């Protein structure tokens, strides 16, 4: 058997030359001083690979249309196997890639690894950074929630500031007259086809150039050290300052250790999923305060300091100059020495840039609006309506058989309250005529209300019709439908009713609720014509119609 | 018989020209498909509010949901305009979109000004910039009043 494997290996090697390729990849000679700091590039590569895998898995379910994008992302989180983790990994993976790219660049700057003849490696790295940021921007729109929509509004408006071609660039980014279906499809195409192709090509070029000149190694090596075995080794004028070693297995093990630690940390952070989806994109919402992801906060903050016509300076000129300065580093810092102590001026300049960006980001972080109160869920509101409107009020009133309910001060635990609701007689036998036992959903709603009231005090005021409607919804509809902004609570057997008022007329909704099968013989929803009173039906229909 | 050297240079020229032409054709195709045709939306008049519902002198946000073409489908995207009625029976309409980066401004009655949440841009009740980075006033929107029918129409 071993002989057969060896022969098969020989046969393949003769045809494909895989042994030489493996040796080329694994026996890459590394100069002295290539240590732990040189693992960051590998971490970045691993994070990009993981992002590609999670991206492909997300694309199996994601639908890039305004009608379905938000729903499909929610479906991924709620119904796809490991969907929550998957989206969490992709979401936090983007931040990891930006962090790893920044760390890798800082390593290259501190070690002076960009010096001749490695200028092109540095420039392809900068191009890769821009591609990574373009990935982050285009990916941001895809969930089609409020955060996505408004971040894209700001991005396109910034692009429109470009002198001369600004309007054309903005039109190409938008695809249509407004941000809508045509924007989503082209940003999706950019995110999953154009940018990945560009990324793959640039990574290949970056790695080819790295191998062509060899790893630079510790900063005591001269930049003129072009490593033996590399394509440009002839005419090598530098000397390695210590013993050289092959990439495999020592450096490969270091890479793997750091990759495992970083990916492990990413999984731990992503385990509970990405931040909750916000409500579906709504251009009319005045309450929404757009804020970009943390790695664009510095740029966003910078725009504040350039009013009126100076806007273009903050949006394009300052970032453009910073990028140009970085691109020119190999020509600004020309001496052969790579030691930090010989390059204090250049390192100070880069440090000033990094500190400025960090300070702007911190200022943007400080100025961010307080997280919006997501409001009460329908279940919580319905529970409140049941307490104030329903059977509880028969006894729990001033001068009644029991104290009025002050929800925020109820000290009993959930088990006691549930027991009391399911069997009121149990708590005070014989004292009074017990109300009909509550159903499971009513218990859930009332418990949700009490928990919420304890947590956030005063409930929102509801119109009388809305009290009835939320009570009915929390009692009958919530088992199969969601309707809260952000769809935070409810079942998934029926359609999400967020914005239902914009889709149907009151009459159509009424007919459907009374007898779904009369409207659609295949309807699975039970009929509620006999279960709801006329007032309840009116209130429910009016309330649904108001949900736009 | 042609000289081999000149034939070779002719072939080199042919290969280079051919590849350039193919590249140019691909770029033209990409440009045709990626640059949107007439990215403008025909304006139309829509009923925005009843005149009697407006509080004179107070900018009131009105959400309009006119159907419009969005690629292959008709979208009902909400859009906000501010209506400002005068005692004399006139109405002015202003866009609610900040001229800085396109965020949605709100009317802050207590400060008597429009404010943008993104970079703290501010406008007075006529839409003129009074603070922050906005480069231009809030764009006015054509509005007309039919007092007899108690209706306000705006062009969006």
HEC secondary structure over A75-136: HHHHHCCCHHHHHHHHHHHHHHHHHHHHHHHHHHHHCCCCCCCCHHHHHHHHHHHHHHHHHH
B78 touches chain A (CB under 8 A): yes
Segments in A231-376 forming alpha helices (H) = 252-270, 294-302, 311-312, 318-327, 329-332, 344-366
DSSP code for A430: T
Residue A185 touches chain B, beta carbons under 8 Å: yes
**Nearest partner of A547 among A466, A461, A493, judged by Cα:** A466
Residues whose CB is less than 8 angstroms from the CB of residue A211 and which lie 6 or more positions away in sequence, other chains included: A28, A230, A231
CA distance A373 to chain B (A): 16
Identify the band that residue B1 occupies on the pLDDT scale cut at 50, 70 and 90.
Answer: low
Q: State how far residue A500 is from chain B, nearest Cα, in angstroms.
A: 13
Chain-chain contact of A311 with B70 (C-beta, under 8 angstroms): no
pLDDT higher than threshold 70 for residue A450: yes
Distance from the Cα of B127 to chain A's closest Cα (Å) equals: 15
Q: Is A396 helix (H, G, I), strand (E, B) or coil?
A: strand
Question: For residue A72, what are the contacts with CB-CB under 8 A and spacing of at least 6?
Answer: A61, A62, A63
pTM of the model: 0.75
Asked if B100 and A311 come within 8 Å (Cβ–Cβ), the reply is yes
Cross-chain CB nearest to A283 (options B39, B41, B78): B78
**Which of A150-154, A264-268, A454-458 has the weakest average pLDDT?**
A454-458
Return the SS3 of A466: helix
The reported pLDDT for the residue numbered A477 is 87
CB B70 within 8 A of CB A182: yes
User: How much is the pLDDT for A291?
Assistant: 81
CB within 8 Å of A245: residues ≥ 6 apart: A29, A30, A34, A251
CB contact under 8 A, B65 and A502: yes
Angle of CA points A307, A312, A315, to nearest 5°: 95
Residue A136 scores a pLDDT above 50: yes
**For position A184, what pLDDT does the model report?**
96
Higher-confidence residue of A340 and A410: namely A340
Q: Which of A156-160, A357-361, A495-499 has the lowest mean pLDDT?
A: A495-499
State phi, psi for A545 to the nearest 5 degrees: -65, -30
Q: Is B101 part of the contact surface with chain A (CB cutoff 8 Å)? A: yes
Task: With CB atoms and an 8 Å threshold, state whether A311 touches B119.
Answer: no
Q: Region A5-19: what's the mean pLDDT? A: 95
CA distance A53 to A72: 18
Of B39, B76, B105, the CB nearest to A502: B76
The whole-angstrom separation of Cα A294 and Cα A465 is 43
DSSP codes joined into one string, B50-72: EGGGS-TTS-EEEEE--EEEETT
* Number of Cβ within a 10 Å radius of residue A401: 12
d(Cα A99, Cα B44) in Å, to the nearest integer?
Answer: 48
- pLDDT over threshold 70, residue B40: no
Q: Which of helix, strand or coil describes residue A372?
A: coil
Report CB contact under 8 Å: A67, B73.
yes
Residues of A in contact with B75 (CB under 8 A): 66, 180-181
Q: Taking 70 as the threshold, does the pLDDT of residue A295 lie above it?
A: yes
Report whether pLDDT(A201) > 50.
Answer: yes
What was the pLDDT predicted at A87? 96
| DSSP-assigned letters across all residues of A159-201 | HTTSTTTHHHHHHHHH-SSSSSHHHHHHHHHIIIIIHHHHHHH
Q: Of A163-167, A286-290, A324-328, B113-117, which has the strongest mean pLDDT? A: A324-328
A548: which DSSP letter?
-
Contact B100/A at CB under 8 A: yes
Tell me, what's the ipTM?
Answer: 0.85
Q: Is B150 left (phi over 0), alpha (psi -120 to 50) or beta?
A: left
H or E element that contains B107: strand B106-108
Most confident of A39-43, A273-277, A377-381, B101-105: A39-43
- Chain B residues with CB under 8 Å of A279 CB are none
Q: How many CA atoms, within 13 angstroms, populate the side-chain half-sphere of residue A494? A: 20
Query: What is the per-residue pLDDT for A15?
Result: 95
Do residues B51 and B150 touch, judged by C-beta distance below 8 A? yes
Q: Which residue has the higher pLDDT, B42 or A197?
A: A197
Buried b / exposed e across A204-228, counting CB within 10 Å, b at 16+? Answer: ebbeebbbbbbbbbbbebbbebbbe
Percentage with pLDDT > 90 across chain B: 33
- The rounded distance, in Å, linking the Cα atoms of B62 and A545 is 18
A204-209, long-range: CB < 8 A, 24+ apart? A205/A124, A206/A121, A206/A124, A206/A125, A206/A128, A209/A118, A209/A120, A209/A121, A209/A124
Q: What is the mean pLDDT of residues A453-480?
A: 78
Residue B146 has pLDDT above 80, yes or no: yes
User: Which position has the higher pLDDT, A378 or A354?
Assistant: A354
Number of neighbours of residue B16 by Cβ within 10 angstroms: 10
Strand partners, A11: none
| pLDDT exceeds 80 at position B82 | yes
Percent of chain A clearing pLDDT 90 (strictly above): 42
Whole-angstrom Cα distance, residue B51 to residue A282? 26
Instruction: Give residue-wise pLDDT tens across range A303-354.
Output: 888 887 888 898 889 999 999 999 999 999 998 889 999 999 999 999 999 9
C-beta atoms surrounding B44 within 10 Å:
12
pLDDT band at residue A485 using 50, 70 and 90 as cut-offs: low
Q: Given this model, what pLDDT does residue A42 score? A: 96
Distance of alpha carbon A175 from alpha carbon A187, whole angstroms: 9
**How far apart (Å, rounded) are the C-alpha atoms in residues B55 and B69?**
33
User: Nearest CA to A12 among A20, A275, B37?
Assistant: A20
A181 and chain B in contact, CB less than 8 A: yes
Residue A235: per-residue pLDDT: 47
A286, A304, A307 ranked by CB distance to B104: nearest: A286
Quote the pLDDT of residue A433: 60
Q: Which residues of A touch B63 (CB under 8 A)?
A: 284
Interacting residues of B35 by C-beta distance below 8 A, sequence separation 6+: A168, A171, A172
For residues A539 and A533, give the distance between their C-alpha atoms in angstroms, rounded to a whole number: 10
Angle, in degrees to the nearest 10, between helices A252-270 and A83-110: 140
* pLDDT at position B101 over 90: no
The candidate with the shortest Cα–Cα distance to A290, out of B61, B135, B132, B103, is B103
Nearest alpha carbon to residue A160 among A171, A152, A151: A171
The lowest-confidence range among A44-48, A144-148, A192-196, B26-30 is A144-148
């Amino acid at each position: 058997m071993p002989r057969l494997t060896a022969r098969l290996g020989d046969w393949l090697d003769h045809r494909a030359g895989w042994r030489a390729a493996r040796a080329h990849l694994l026996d890459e000679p590394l100069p002295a001083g290539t240590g732990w700091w040189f693992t960051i590039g590998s971490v970045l590569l691993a994070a990009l690979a993981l992002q590609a895998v999670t991206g492909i898995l997300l694309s199996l379910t994601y639908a890039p249309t305004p009608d379905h994008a938000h729903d499909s992302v929610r479906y991924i989180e709620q119904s796809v196997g490991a969907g929550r983790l998957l989206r969490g990994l992709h979401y936090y993976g983007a931040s990891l890639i930006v962090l790893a790219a920044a760390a890798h660049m800082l390593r290259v700057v501190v070690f002076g690894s960009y010096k001749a003849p490695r200028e092109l490696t540095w420039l392809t790295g900068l191009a890769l950074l821009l591609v990574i940021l373009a990935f982050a921007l285009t990916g941001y729109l895809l969930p089609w929630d409020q955060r996505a929509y408004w971040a894209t509004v700001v991005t396109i408006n910034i692009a429109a500031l470009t002198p001369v071609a600004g309007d054309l660039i903005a039109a190409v980014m938008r695809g249509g007259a407004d941000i809508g279906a045509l924007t989503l499809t082209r940003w999706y195409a950019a995110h999953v086809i154009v940018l990945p192709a560009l990324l793959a090509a640039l990574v290949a070029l970056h790695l080819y150039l790295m191998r062509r000149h060899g790893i630079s190694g510790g900063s005591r090596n001269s930049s003129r050290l072009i490593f033996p075995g590399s394509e440009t080794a002839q005419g090598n004028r530098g000397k390695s300052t210590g013993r050289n070693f092959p990439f495999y297995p020592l450096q490969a093990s270091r890479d793997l250790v750091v990759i495992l630690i970083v990916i492990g940390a990413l999984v731990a952070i992503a385990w509970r999923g990405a931040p909750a989806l916000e409500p579906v994109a709504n251009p009319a919402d005045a309450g929404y305060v757009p804020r970009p992801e943390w790695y664009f906060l510095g740029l966003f903050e910078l725009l504040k300091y350039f009013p009126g016509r100076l806007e273009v300076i903050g949006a394009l000129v300052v970032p453009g100059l910073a990028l140009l300065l970085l691109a020119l580093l190999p020509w600004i810092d020309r001496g052969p020495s790579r030691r930090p102590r010989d390059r204090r001026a250049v390192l100070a300049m880069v440090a000033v840039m990094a500190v400025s960006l960090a300070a702007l980001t911190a200022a943007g972080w400080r100025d961010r609006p307080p997280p919006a109160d997501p409001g009460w869920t329908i279940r919580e509101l319905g529970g409140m309506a049941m307490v104030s409107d329903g059977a509880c009020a028969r006894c729990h009133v001033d001068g009644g058989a029991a104290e009025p309910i002050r929800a925020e001060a109820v000290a009993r635990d959930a088990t006691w309250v549930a027991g009391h609701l399911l069997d009121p007689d149990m708590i005070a036998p014989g004292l009074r005529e017990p109300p009909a036992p509550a159903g499971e959903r009513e218990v859930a709603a009332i418990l949700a209300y009490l928990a919420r009231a304890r947590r956030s005090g005063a409930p929102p005021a509801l119109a009388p019709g809305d009290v009835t409607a939320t009570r009915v919804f929390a009692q009958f509809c919530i088992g199969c439908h969601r309707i809260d902004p952000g769809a935070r609570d409810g079942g998934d057997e029926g359609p999400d009713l967020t914005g239902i008022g914009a889709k149907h007329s009151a009459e159509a909704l009424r007919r459907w609720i009374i007898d779904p099968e009369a409207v659609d013989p295949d309807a699975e929803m039970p009929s509620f014509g006999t279960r709801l009173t006329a007032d309840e039906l009116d209130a429910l229909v009016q309330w649904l119609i108001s949900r736009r | 018989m042609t000289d081999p050297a000149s034939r070779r240079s002719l072939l080199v020229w042919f290969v280079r020209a051919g590849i350039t032409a193919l590249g140019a054709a691909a770029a033209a195709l990409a440009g045709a498909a990626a640059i949107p045709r007439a990215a403008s939306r025909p304006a139309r008049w829509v009923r925005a509010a009843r005149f009697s519902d407006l509080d004179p002198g107070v900018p009131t946000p009105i959400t309009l949901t006119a159907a419009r073409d969005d690629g292959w489908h008709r979208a009902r995207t909400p859009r906000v305009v501010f209506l400002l009625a005068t005692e004399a029976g006139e109405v002015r309409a202003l866009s609610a979109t900040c001229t800085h980066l396109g965020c949605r401004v709100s009317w802050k009655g207590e400060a008597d000004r429009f404010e943008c949440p993104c970079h703290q841009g501010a406008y007075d009740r006529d839409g003129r910039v009074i603070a922050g980075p906005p480069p231009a006033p809030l764009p006015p929107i054509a509005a007309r009043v039919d007092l007899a029918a108690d209706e306000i129409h705006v062009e969006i």
